[in-house]
């Protein structure tokens, strides 16, 4: 039985929970008004979610993100609440938890009933109820609601009074594990740094190291040394950290493919054939540095932000997007906010930037240098702001080779990049660590 705080923590650990978040609920945190999770999008870095979808109907257009959400009963058994989701209201901005009672007979219905205004006692401040959210390694969220009169609540409040819990947004953070992933990451990077030069390798799908001779071997080799198997998932690489190896000032932040416009409708090959240029050897390239509001003379296209107010620093409509426009205003390529929002928050909540040098030979080797830089705490608004001011640029490298043959080869590379000197603006904390 989950009778005290320690029993709850033990049960969370048994379920693979890596951290426990606790929100002190207010009277307006209920099934009708939903549960308030913050006045920005920071919670997207704390709670694993499915794909974000834009919802244009209704009085308040919003984004919605489904959660794998389970209520724990009094004995600690999990029961899925299949309709639980985050609702993101960009115009405020604000995030709320919704649908958490539907379809789950073990959900705490009584404790989440709306309280009539005339019966409220706490002026919408904390009313004693505690919502615990355990975030598991398998991306499930295990929830437990402690009544105001419970021993769990009494113990939590006593420990909170002593300052034992860190504040993270609207939550108090209770570590389910003593493992500090930052320390483990830095130790691994120190070992790689001290070992000196490393032959260029990558890991195959079975996790075996194989030689790798392409120009981008520095990043693959670093990932291989950290045990990271290359994949296309939009998830962090190493224990919750995104790993970014770089050999120059220009750093690739992410490489999302356009999901609308001509590119989204017809694909990369048709896009490069229409907007790229020949470079010899039967090859077409689409390259060129694009900044918001500035026409690129080579491609004839202009990068534009639609749906973002740079003065108020808010998204003004959920159908907003980053467009690459022709002179006639036709979208050659479009990245919708809902796709970029999901990719940015999943990948960049914690990121390590590691510089390296190459021996420049036909048998490439790499040396990973000190210091390394760790960025923690970001949000999508920081990304849009950096785009608006030209700090983040679109710097593609897509190509079609053997383009005149019956079997052309296509490489898609839609890169959004930033100079290292401007990287700190993307994070709340950006620190240097001497290895």
Task: Calculate the CA 341 to chain-centre distance.
Answer: 8
pLDDT confidence bin for 373, thresholds 50/70/90: very high
**pLDDT tens track for 57-99:** 778 899 999 999 999 999 999 999 999 999 999 988 899 999 9
Instruction: Calculate what percentage of the chain has a pLDDT beyond 70.
Output: 97
**Distance (Å, whole) CA 269 – CA 184:** 42
Kindly state the average pLDDT of the residues 92-118.
92
pLDDT for 385 beyond 60:
yes
Give the per-residue SS3 of the chain.
CCCCHHHHHHHHHHCCEEEEEEEEEECCCECCCEEECCCCCCHHHHCCCCCEEEECCCCCCEEEEECCEEEECCCCCEEECCCCEEEEECCCCEEEEECCCCCCCCCCCHHHCCCCHHHCCCCCCEEEEEEEEEEECCCCEEEEEECCCCHHHHHHHHHHHCCCCEEECCEEEEECCCCCHHHHHHHHHHHHHHCCEEECEEECCCCCEEECCCCCHHHHHHHHHCCCCCCCCCCCCECCEEEEEECCCEEEEECCCCCEHHHHHHHHHHHHHHHCEECCCCEEEEECCECECCECCCCCCEEEEECEECCCCEECCCCCEEEEECCCCCEEEEEEHHHHHHHHHHHHCEEEEEEEEECCCCCCEEEECCCEEEEECCCHHHHHHHHHCCCEEECCEEEEECCCCCCCEEECCCCEEEEHHHHHHHCCEEEEECC
pLDDT confidence bin for 332, thresholds 50/70/90: very high
Kindly state the average pLDDT of the residues 329-349.
90
pLDDT for 232 beyond 90:
no
**Distance (Å, whole) CA 49 – CA 171:** 18
Output the pLDDT for position 294: 98
Ranges 219-233, 270-284, 318-332, 363-377: which has the least confidence: 219-233
pLDDT for 258 beyond 90:
yes
Q: Check residues 116 and 376 and name the one with the higher pLDDT.
A: 376
Output the pLDDT for position 362: 85
**pLDDT tens track for 134-154:** 999 899 999 999 999 999 999
Provide Rg for the chain, Cα atoms.
24
Q: From residue 57, give the alpha-carbon distance in Å to each of 52, 264, 316, 319.
A: 16, 24, 15, 11
Kindly state the average pLDDT of the residues 212-223.
91
pLDDT confidence bin for 176, thresholds 50/70/90: low
pLDDT confidence bin for 238, thresholds 50/70/90: confident
Task: Calculate the CA 3 to chain-centre distance.
Answer: 35
Kindly state the average pLDDT of the residues 206-213.
93
Kindly state the average pLDDT of the residues 406-432.
96
**pLDDT tens track for 299-313:** 999 999 999 999 999
CB contact at 8 A, 421 and 360? no
* Strand ranges of the sheet holding 277-278, from the earlier edge strand across to the other edge: 277-278, 283-287, 397-401, 409-411
pLDDT confidence bin for 51, thresholds 50/70/90: confident
Output the pLDDT for position 41: 86
Output the pLDDT for position 221: 96
pLDDT, the chain, mean: 93
CB contact at 8 A, 97 and 32? no
Domains, the chain: 5-175 (2.40.330.10), 181-433 (3.30.70.3570)
**Distance (Å, whole) CA 197 – CA 229:** 21
């Amino acid at each position: 039985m989950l009778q005290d705080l320690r029993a709850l923590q033990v049960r969370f650990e048994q379920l693979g929970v890596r951290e426990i978040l606790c929100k002190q609920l207010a009277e307006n945190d209920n099934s009708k008004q939903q549960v308030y999770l913050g006045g920005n999008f920071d919670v997207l870095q704390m709670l694993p979610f499915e794909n974000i979808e834009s919802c244009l109907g209704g009085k308040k257009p919003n984004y919605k993100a489904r959660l794998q959400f389970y209520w724990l009963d009094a004995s600690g058994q999990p029961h899925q609440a299949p309709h639980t989701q985050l609702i993101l209201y960009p115009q405020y901005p604000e995030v709320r938890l919704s649908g958490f009672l539907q379809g789950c007979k073990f959900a705490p219905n009584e404790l989440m009933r709306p309280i009539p205004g005339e019966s409220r006692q706490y002026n919408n401040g904390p009313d004693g109820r505690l919502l615990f959210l355990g975030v598991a390694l398998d991306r499930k969220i295990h929830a437990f609601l402690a009544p105001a009169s419970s021993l769990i609540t009494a113990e939590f409040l006593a420990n909170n009074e002593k300052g034992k819990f860190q504040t993270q947004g609207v939550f108090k953070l209770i570590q389910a594990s003593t493992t500090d992933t930052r320390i483990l990451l830095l130790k691994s990077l120190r070992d790689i740094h001290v070992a000196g030069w490393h032959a260029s390798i990558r890991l195959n799908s079975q996790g075996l190291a194989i030689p790798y001779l392409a120009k981008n071997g520095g990043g693959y080799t670093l990932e291989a040394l950290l045990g990271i198997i290359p994949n296309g998932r939009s998830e962090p690489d190493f224990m919750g950290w995104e790993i970014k190896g770089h050999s120059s000032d220009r750093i690739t932040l992410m490489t999302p493919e356009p999901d609308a416009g001509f590119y989204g409708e017809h694909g990369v090959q048709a896009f490069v054939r229409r907007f790229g240029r020949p470079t010899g050897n039967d090859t077409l390239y689409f390259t060129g540095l694009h900044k918001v509001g500035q026409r690129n003379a080579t491609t004839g296209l202009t990068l534009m932000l639609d749906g973002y107010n740079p003065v108020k620093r808010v998204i003004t409509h959920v159908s907003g997007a980053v467009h690459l426009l022709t002179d006639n205003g036709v979208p050659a390529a479009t990245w919708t906010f809902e796709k970029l929002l999901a990719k940015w928050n999943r990948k960049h909540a914690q990121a390590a930037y590691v510089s390296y040098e190459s021996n420049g030979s036909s048998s490439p080797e790499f040396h990973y240098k000190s210091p390394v830089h760790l960025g923690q705490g970001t949000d999508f608004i920081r990304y849009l702001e950096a785009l608006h001011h030209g700090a983040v640029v679109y710097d593609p490298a897509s190509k079609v080779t053997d383009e005149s043959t019956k079997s052309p080869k296509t490489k898609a590379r839609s890169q959004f990049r930033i100079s290292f000197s401007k990287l700190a603006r993307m994070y709340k904390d950006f620190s240097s660590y001497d290895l």
